[in-house]
Amino acid sequence: MASAGRRCLVPCVLGILLNALIGVICEAELSFVLEPSDVIAVQEQPLMLHCQVSGLPPVTIQWRHSGLLLIQDQRHTTFSNGSLLIAHFLKTRSDGSSDEGDYECVAQNSFGLVVSRRARIQAATMANFHVQPESVHAEESGVARFQCQIHGLPEPVISWEKDGRPVDTGDERYTLLPTGVLQITGVRLEDSGRFCCVAHNSAAVKHSAEAVLTVSGSQSSVYKEPMILVGPENLTLTVHQTAILECVATGYPRPIVSWSRLDGRPIGVEGIQVLGTGNLMISDVGVQHSGVYVCAANKPGTRVRRTAQGRLVVQAPAEFVQAPQSIARPVGTTAIFTCQAQGEPEPQLAWLKNGQVLEPGGHVKLKNNNSTLTIYGISQDDEAIYQCIAENSAGSTQASARLTVLWADGLPGVPTRVRAEALSPTTIQVSWKEPGQNTQDIIGYVLHIRRTSDPVEEEYEEAVNKVTLQHIIRDLEPSTSYTFYCQGLHVPRGQQTVGLAPPRPLTGRCPRLLCSTRRC
């Protein structure tokens, strides 16, 4: 097969000529500068969603709510800058409708239509406590633990009161975990009292039931095996959140608590903090923090130990590794968009054409798990803005690119009498005659070459001098069929831009000349 150098160098040169010299902007002529974000909204308060677009005016902006276009009324106002105002946000209205749901910003101009990422809007809420603190009896110098749990949006902030007053967080024996746990180590008689959990967020403030701590005399001099009262729970978080892995151990003498990963990898030190006597806090978690964490309680000076473990799963929203790029292609040729995204779990890819879901079929193909969009034999109907949507359970994102279909008056005609001849088992000569019109603008030719059995993406090009009208392709595979077509490279008179004439039309929508290294 032809060398890798030919596969790369010539297409790169032609890409520069086609995309740069022709003056095509390598960005979509309509794109988002600012997209709406997920919001937890306070009920009965106004809510503003932001959307900013860059594009050739005039640009019109509309909004969709749960897939349906929003109608401008007293409740919804779209401003000239693209922002949407919901005057009085409600989770449930008298007619049964809701302001909650997915919102999308839709922008359109003469080049096409684009749709923003889906922004999820939820109402701030606070449920009742589903785990109430329970009364505890603890020995002096021992450990006491209270817990409460409550669901809410945004996540409620938990604090504790003792006998109606806030717990003294300055006492290092008291550890308050964001998960709603209060730990008291080295318990003293004066710690006895009534404890209450307080939860608050933008929706409400709620108090739990009270629980009593009773402290009895110490028996600390009696040897006790190390024991883990509470071990780490399995957690699923999103990147940049904070992980709290709890570990409460008792015994005499007091056991030493340590942490490790089950896979043997080091936990690291950046963003790692120990809370209280053994709780592990990981700030700003990343995908690399996913794994099974082991809490060990060791009797000092011995190998006696007890362990407990929990799994941490860190999800990452979809983000693009390679976004699609705007391209310009002559009518009748092939356009390829590539889109690659990463995230945890692996994102799913979908495509839109001018804001509508693009269904593959006919001359439109999706390959490689939808990462490659190929449009064969393009026509004027294919000119549009195409969007790649990447989405997983942690979030979604979008990127857009425009396909410009080139067809203009004054283009040279197609090369005529295209012929191919096998000179040897590994060499083919392709020849042609000049087009019938506008030949004075031609500065050279482009010969497209592909093994017939290969996908169109494997096609490569070789440039040919304008006076040669023939080209020998070497290093081909014996007894193999190849497909060729020829285009003229031209500069219109009085201009400085370069373009490609239509390919030599032979048969069908996507004309090709077939030849085998065995015979033509």
What are the pLDDT digits (tens) for 256-265?
999 999 999 9
pLDDT digits (tens, 9 = 90+) for 294-327: 999 998 888 888 999 999 999 999 999 999 999 9
Give CA separation, 116 vs 35, 233, 354, 511, in Å: 6, 37, 12, 38
At which residue do the structure tokens 């033509």 appear? Answer: 520
pLDDT of residue 504: 39
503 compared with 196, residue with greater pLDDT: 196
The topology (CATH level 3) of 226-313 is: Immunoglobulin-like (2.60.40)
244 compared with 379, residue with greater pLDDT: 244
Q: Which residues pair with 65 in a beta bridge?
A: 68, 103
457 compared with 385, residue with greater pLDDT: 385
Q: What is the pTM assigned to this prediction?
A: 0.68
CA angle 411/327/108 to nearest 5° reads: 105
Q: What is the share, in percent, of the chain residues with pLDDT greater than 90?
A: 61
Q: Which residue type occupies 18?
A: L
pLDDT digits (tens, 9 = 90+) for 168-196: 888 999 999 989 999 999 899 999 999 99
Task: With a cut of 70, say whether residue 503 has pLDDT above it.
Answer: no
pLDDT of residue 57: 92
Half-sphere exposure of 351 (CA within 13 A, CB side): 27
Q: What is the mean pLDDT of the chain?
A: 86
At which residue do the structure tokens 């309680």 appear? Answer: 297
pLDDT of residue 48: 97
pLDDT of residue 184: 95
**Domain 126-216 belongs to what architecture?**
Sandwich (2.60)
Give CA separation, 161 vs 131, 213, 427, in Å: 17, 12, 87
Task: With a cut of 80, say whether residue 520 has pLDDT above it.
Answer: no
CA gap 144, 335 in Å, rounded: 68
Helix segments in 25-72, DSSP class H: none
Query: Mean pLDDT, to the nearest integer, of 195-201?
Result: 97
User: Could you tell me the residue ranges of all domains in the chain?
Assistant: 31-123, 126-216, 226-313, 323-406, 419-490
Query: Mean pLDDT, to the nearest integer, of 247-274?
Result: 92
pLDDT of residue 492: 55
pLDDT digits (tens, 9 = 90+) for 342-380: 999 999 999 999 999 998 988 899 999 999 999 998 888
Task: With a cut of 90, say whether residue 411 has pLDDT above it.
Answer: no
Task: With a cut of 90, say whether residue 220 has pLDDT above it.
Answer: no
pLDDT of residue 240: 95
Least confident of 18-22, 169-173, 420-424, 516-520: 18-22
Q: What is residue 492's three-state secondary structure?
A: coil
Closest by alpha carbon to 276, among 197, 192, 185? 185
Q: What is the share, in percent, of the chain residues with pLDDT greater than 70?
A: 86
Pairing of strands 470-473, 460-465: unpaired
493 pLDDT band (50/70/90 cuts)? Answer: low
484 pLDDT band (50/70/90 cuts)? Answer: confident
DSSP string, 231-261: -PPPEEEETT--EEE--EEEEESPPEEEEEE
506 compared with 472, residue with greater pLDDT: 472
Is the separation of the CB atoms in 208 and 196 below 8 Å? yes
516 pLDDT band (50/70/90 cuts)? Answer: low
Least confident of 43-52, 223-232, 366-375, 501-510: 501-510
CA gap 234, 258 in Å, rounded: 18
Q: Which residue type occupies 126?
A: M
Query: Mean pLDDT, to the nearest integer, of 444-452?
Result: 86
Question: What are the residues whose beta carbons fall under 8 Å from the beta carbon of 456, sequence distance 6 or more?
Answer: 334, 336, 374, 376, 450
The topology (CATH level 3) of 323-406 is: Immunoglobulin-like (2.60.40)
* Cα end-to-end distance, the chain, whole Å: 18
Neighbours of 350 (CB within 10 A): 17
Is the separation of the CB atoms in 85 and 46 below 8 Å? yes
Same fold, 126-216 and 323-406: yes
The topology (CATH level 3) of 31-123 is: Immunoglobulin-like (2.60.40)
CA gap 114, 55 in Å, rounded: 11
Question: What are the residues whose beta carbons fall under 8 Å from the beta carbon of 101, sequence distance 6 or more?
Answer: 65, 66, 120, 121
How far, rounded to the nearest angstrom, does the alpha carbon of residue 446 sit from its chain's CA centroid?
A: 38
Q: Where are the beta strands (DSSP E) in 248-371?
A: 248-252, 256-261, 272-275, 279-282, 291-298, 305-322, 327-330, 335-338, 340-344, 348-353, 356-357, 364-367
pLDDT of residue 513: 62
Query: Mean pLDDT, to the nearest integer, of 115-122?
Result: 95
CA gap 106, 62 in Å, rounded: 5
Whether cis (ω within 30° of 0) applies to the bond prior to 412 is no
CA angle 15/20/24 to nearest 5° reads: 105
pLDDT of residue 471: 93
Question: What are the residues whose beta carbons fall under 8 Å from the beta carbon of 107, sequence distance 6 or more?
Answer: 30, 32, 51, 53, 55, 59, 60, 61, 82, 113, 114, 116
CA gap 184, 109 in Å, rounded: 63
Question: Looking at the domain that runs over 419-490, which CATH code has it been given?
Answer: 2.60.40.10
pLDDT digits (tens, 9 = 90+) for 376-397: 988 889 999 999 999 999 989 9
Task: With a cut of 60, say whether residue 519 has pLDDT above it.
Answer: no
pLDDT digits (tens, 9 = 90+) for 30-74: 999 999 999 999 999 999 999 999 999 999 999 999 999 999 898
Q: Which residues pair with 82 in a beta bridge?
A: none
pLDDT of residue 505: 31
DSSP secondary structure code for residue 385 in this structure: E
